[in-house]
Amino acid sequence: MPEEKNNTDFAPLTKLFMAITASVAALCTINLYALAILAGLEMIAAAVMDGGRVLWKGISILAVFAVILAGIQLLFITPLFLSVGSAYKMFIMAVSLFILVATTPTQAITAALVKQCRLPYDYAFMITAVLRFVPDLLKESKEVREAQSCRGFHPSRDPLRRIIDYMMIIKPMVFKAISRSENMAISLTLRGFSGKNKRTFMAATKLCGSDYIIMLVNLFICIAVVKYF
Partner 1 sequence: MIKKAIGKSSDLRWITITTLLLAIGVILRIISPNLGGISLNWNIVMYATAILLCRPSPRQGLGIGIVSGIIATMTSKAALPYANLISDPVAAFICALLVRWCVFDIKLGRLQIEPLVIIFITTFISGGIFVTLTKVVLSLPMPLYLYAMLPAVLLVAALGSAAGQLLYFPAARIFNNDGINKKAFFLQNIDLTISKGEFFVLTGVNGSGKTSLLLSLAGAKPSYLGGFKNSDIHIDDIDIVKARPEILNNQTGLVMADYEAQLVTETVDDEIAFSLENKGMLPQQIIEKQHDVLKKVGLENMGGRKVTSLSGGQKQRLVIAAVLAMDTPILALDEPVAAVDPEGAKEIYDLLYRLNKEDGKTIIVAEHDLKYVLDIASHMAVIDKGQLKFSGEKQVCLEYMYTNKIYPEVIPLRWKIRREMGQEVC
Partner 2 sequence: MEDTPGNGAGSMLNLKNVTFSYSSGSKIFDDISINIDTDAITAVAGRNGTGKTTLTRLIMGIIHPQSGVIEFDGKLISDKPSYVLAKNIGYVFQNPDHQLFAATVYDEAAYAPMQLGMETKQIRECVDGALAATGLSEKAHLMPQTLSLGDKQRLSIASALAAKPRILILDEPTSGQDCRERTVLLRLMRKLNSTGLGIILVTHDMDILAEHADKMIVLADKKIAYAGTPRQLFADEEKTVKLGLELPEAAVIAAEMGLELCLTPAELYGKMAVWREKNA
Q: Give the interface segment with partner 2, choosing from 7-15, 41-49, 118-126, 149-157 (CB under 8 A).
A: 149-157
- Shortest approach of partner 1 to residue 72 CB, angstroms? 7
- Provide the sign of the torsion angle of the four alpha carbons 34, 37, 39, 42, taken in this order: negative
| Footprint on residues 171-210 left by partner 1 (CB under 8 A) | 171, 173-175, 177-195, 197-202
- Provide the sign of the torsion angle of the four alpha carbons 192, 198, 200, 205, taken in this order: positive
| Footprint on residues 24-53 left by partner 2 (CB under 8 A) | none
**DSSP conformation class of 8:** G
| Footprint on residues 113-142 left by partner 2 (CB under 8 A) | 140
Residue from 125, 133, 153, 229 that binds partner 2 (CB under 8 A)? 153
Under rule CB under 8 A, residue 61 binds partner 1: yes
Distance from C-alpha of 99 to C-alpha of 47, rounded to nearest angstrom? 10
CA-nearest of 127, 36, 117 to 84 is 36
Binding mask 134-163 for partner 1 (x = CB under 8 A): xxxxx--x-------------x---xx-xx
- Rank residues 47 and 147 by Cβ distance to partner 2 and give the closer one: 147
- Shortest approach of partner 2 to residue 158 CB, angstroms? 15
CA-nearest of 201, 161, 172 to 13 is 201
Look up residue 83 and give its amino acid: S
What 3-state DSSP class applies to 207? coil
Distance from C-alpha of 13 to C-alpha of 111, rounded to nearest angstrom? 9
Residue 32 CB-density burial (10 A; 0-12 exposed, 13-18 middle, 19+ buried):
middle
Under rule CB under 8 A, residue 12 binds partner 1: no
Under rule CB under 8 A, residue 71 binds partner 1: no
53 touches which of partner 2, partner 1, none (CB within 5 to 8 A by kind)? none
- Contacting residues toward partner 2, per CB under 8 A: 140, 143-144, 146-154, 167-168, 171-172, 175-176, 179
